């Protein structure tokens, strides 16, 4: 059956792209030709952002200039009026809603607003990639009645985010773990949120509008929202001893288990094992490996009974929870990484654009005659 007949554009190839390659049968993820396993071991998120945007690894000087741009206080800082808006929002507002709102407000204050040239879009992409961590951390502080923490130029993107969340300098393990998490989430071909960004960019709309579209798509529990749902499942299971009975009952009830399955991967998502390793290391560091033990039991049963494999969302939350990050901030963290891929795809779409406008297989009547209301 073709993708259209299964629905959801399954297996439908809609356009070419040189940014990200996924081999769903081999379980391979490649950014601009480089295997993500090698990038995790040898690169940094800042360098991966350059790779996604510019198509190859930077020279030492180019990386230094790029890193300075991504970590400069001027580019990280939020407009004061946006902080005022955060303070005006109800404190119960979901962080993903704050992120979506905040990106729209950033567009209004961006000095390159209205300029869709490649150079302007690159400058806006640098600012968005630098500002999103500040926005997510600022909301975390404001909703708890605390003042936002000013970004520090002495830390890279991963370390500075953890610092702005807590006001304390993070451990080297936490920074490394978080940086690996950012690399693993940076891009993933035409996933739902990236495709939403490309559809928006294909109308020649601006990068802030495209990122707002992407955030709306990522929010859904079938996509980026799954990592939050996984941790809610762990909270319901509570202890490793209860995990096997709990998941067997859930499967018997035909429940959809978050963190498992994938539209493209037919084997384990290559990102899952890195996140499982990091979640285990962090859990041991903080003396609590319960979440990973629970997830390992769930994975054993779901894989054996449903032949479904873990995806990127299964262990990421356990790693973030070990860093003291609240559950409803897990999807915003997905976004502060994926904004690198989203902006890369916007620039690729703008660079060789044709409006994305598919057809529908219409199932209704086509020649009805109008009947006045008093005769219906
Ligand atoms: C991400 O696309 C990307 O690249 C996304 C992403 C990225 O980096 O951008 O990788 C990030 O979104 C990862 C996925 C996170 N979502 C979840 O973990 C939610 C749970 N997973 C599922 O809802 C599901 O696996 C999807 C949405 C991820 C993929 O679903 P498909 O391809 O539409 O498959 P389907 O829903 O048609 O399911 C096929 C069969 C069904 O059984 P039958 O009805 O045919 O008997 O598999 C079953 C489903 O019931 N199934 C599951 C399941 N996933 C599929 N059953 C229980 N639990 C699951 N998680």
How far from the centroid of its chain's Cα atoms is residue 271's Cα?
Answer: 13
Q: Which tokens go with 183?
A: 């690399």
Q: Which residue's alpha carbon is nearest to atom 20 within ligand 1? A: 258
Q: Residue 342: enclosing H or E segment and its boundaries? A: helix 330-351
Strand order in the sheet with 28-31: 20-23, 28-31, 34-35
Closest among 353, 326, 25 to 210, alpha carbons compared: 353
Instruction: Please provide the DSSP assignment of 305-318 as one string.
Output: HH---B-THHHHHH
Pick the atom of ligand 1 nearest to 251's CA. Answer: 57
R_g over Cα of the chain? 22
Rounded Cα distance, 203 and 217, in Å = 18
Residue 309 has pLDDT above 60, yes or no: yes
Q: What is the maximum alpha-carbon separation in the chain?
A: 78
pLDDT digits (tens, 9 = 90+) for 155-206: 999 999 999 999 999 999 899 999 999 999 999 999 999 999 999 999 999 9
Pocket of ligand 1 (CB under 6 A): 8, 188, 191, 222-224, 226, 256-264, 306, 308, 311-313
Q: Which residue's alpha carbon is nearest to atom 26 within ligand 1? A: 262
Instruction: Tell me which CATH code domain 226-322 carries.
Output: 1.10.230.10
CA distances in angstroms from 25 to 114, 121, 262, 310, 353, listed in the order given: 43, 35, 12, 14, 30
Residue 36 confidence (pLDDT): 98
Examine the residue annotation and report whether 66 is marked as an active-site residue of this protein: no
Q: Which residue's alpha carbon is nearest to atom 15 within ligand 1? A: 223
Contact 98, 141 (CB under 8 A): no
Name 296's bridge partners.
none
Stretch 145-157: mean pLDDT, rounded?
A: 96
Q: Which tokens go with 114?
A: 């209205």
Using pLDDT thresholds of 50, 70 and 90, give the confidence band for residue 6: confident
Name 35's bridge partners.
30
Start-end of H helices in 238-289 = 240-252, 270-286
Residue 1 has pLDDT above 90, yes or no: no
Pick the atom of ligand 1 nearest to 263's CA. Answer: 32
- Where in the chain does DSSP place strands (E)? 20-23, 28-31, 34-35
User: Best substitution site from 190, 261, 309 to test ligand 1's pocket, by max atoms within 8 Å of Cβ?
Assistant: 261
Phi and psi at residue 29, in whole multiples of 5°? -130, 125
> How do the domains of the chain map onto residue ranges?
30-219+329-351, 226-322
Catalytic residue among 112, 188, 313, 345: 313
Closest among 189, 217, 214, 181 to 200, alpha carbons compared: 214
Catalytic residue among 262, 274, 345, 350: 262
Looking at domain 30-219+329-351, which CATH architecture does it have? Orthogonal Bundle (1.10)
Q: pTM for this one?
A: 0.95
- Where in 88-165 does DSSP place strands (E)? none
Using pLDDT thresholds of 50, 70 and 90, give the confidence band for residue 370: very high
Contact 296, 281 (CB under 8 A): no
Contact 75, 69 (CB under 8 A): yes
Percent with pLDDT over 90 in the chain: 97
Contact 365, 258 (CB under 8 A): no
Q: Which residue's alpha carbon is nearest to atom 55 within ligand 1? A: 261
User: Best substitution site from 17, 262, 301, 303 to test ligand 1's pocket, by max atoms within 8 Å of Cβ?
Assistant: 262
Phi and psi at residue 39, in whole multiples of 5°? -65, -40
Ligand 1 centroid from CA 223, angstroms: 9
Examine the residue annotation and report whether 208 is marked as an active-site residue of this protein: no
pLDDT digits (tens, 9 = 90+) for 28-46: 999 999 999 999 999 999 9
Contact 163, 183 (CB under 8 A): no
pLDDT digits (tens, 9 = 90+) for 260-305: 999 999 999 999 999 999 999 999 999 999 999 999 999 999 999 9
Rounded Cα distance, 293 and 24, in Å = 27
Pick the atom of ligand 1 nearest to 7's CA. Answer: 33
Residue 4 has pLDDT above 70, yes or no: no
Please report where in the chains the tokens 């993903």 appear, as a residue. Answer: 96
Cβ-Cβ contacts under 8 Å for 309 (sequence gap 6 or more): 260, 261, 262, 265, 267, 268, 269, 272, 303
Closest among 107, 88, 134, 135 to 212, alpha carbons compared: 107
Average pLDDT, the chain: 96
Closest among 161, 213, 172 to 345, alpha carbons compared: 213
């Amino acid at each position: 059956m073709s993708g259209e007949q299964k629905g959801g554009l399954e297996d439908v190839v809609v356009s070419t792209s040189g940014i990200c390659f996924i081999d769903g049968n081999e379980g391979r993820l490649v950014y601009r030709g480089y295997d993500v396993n090698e990038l995790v071991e040898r690169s940094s998120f800042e360098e991966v952002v350059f790779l996604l945007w510019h198509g190859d690894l930077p020279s030492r000087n180019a990386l230094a200039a790029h890193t300075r741009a991504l970590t400069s206080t001027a580019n990280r800082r939020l407009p004061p009026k946006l902080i005022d808006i955060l303070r005006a929002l109800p404190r119960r507002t979901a962080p993903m809603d704050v992120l979506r709102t905040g990106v729209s407000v950033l567009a209004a204050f961006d000095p390159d607003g209205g300029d869709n040239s490649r150079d302007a879009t690159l400058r806006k992409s640098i600012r968005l990639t630098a500002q999103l961590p500040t926005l997510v951390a600022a909301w975390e502080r404001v909703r708890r009645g605390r003042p936002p923490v000013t970004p520090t130029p002495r830390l890279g993107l991963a370390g500075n985010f953890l610092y702005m969340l807590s006001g304390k300098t993070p451990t080297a393990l936490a920074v490394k773990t978080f940086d690996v998490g950012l690399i693993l989430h940076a891009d993933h071909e035409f996933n739902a949120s990236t495709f939403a960004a490309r559809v928006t960019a294909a109308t020649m709309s601006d990068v802030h509008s495209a990122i707002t579209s992407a955030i709306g798509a990522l929010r859904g529990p079938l996509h980026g929202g799954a990592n939050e749902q996984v941790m809610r499942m762990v909270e319901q299971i509570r202890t490793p001893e209860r995990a096997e009975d709990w998941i067997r009952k859930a499967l018997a009830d035909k429940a959809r288990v978050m963190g498992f399955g994938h539209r493209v991967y037919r084997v384990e998502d290559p990102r899952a094992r890195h996140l499982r390793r990091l979640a285990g290391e962090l859990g041991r560091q903080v003396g609590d490996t319960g979440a990973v033990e629970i997830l390992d039991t769930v994975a054993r049963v779901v894989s054996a009974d449903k032949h479904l494999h873990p995806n990127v969302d299964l262990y990421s939350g356990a790693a973030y929870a070990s860093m003291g990050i609240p559950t409803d901030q897990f999807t915003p963290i997905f976004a502060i990484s994926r904004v690198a891929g989203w902006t890369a795809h916007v620039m690729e779409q703008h660079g060789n654009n044709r409006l994305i406008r598919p057809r529908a297989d219409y199932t209704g009547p086509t020649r009805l005659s109008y009947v006045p209301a008093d005769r219906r």
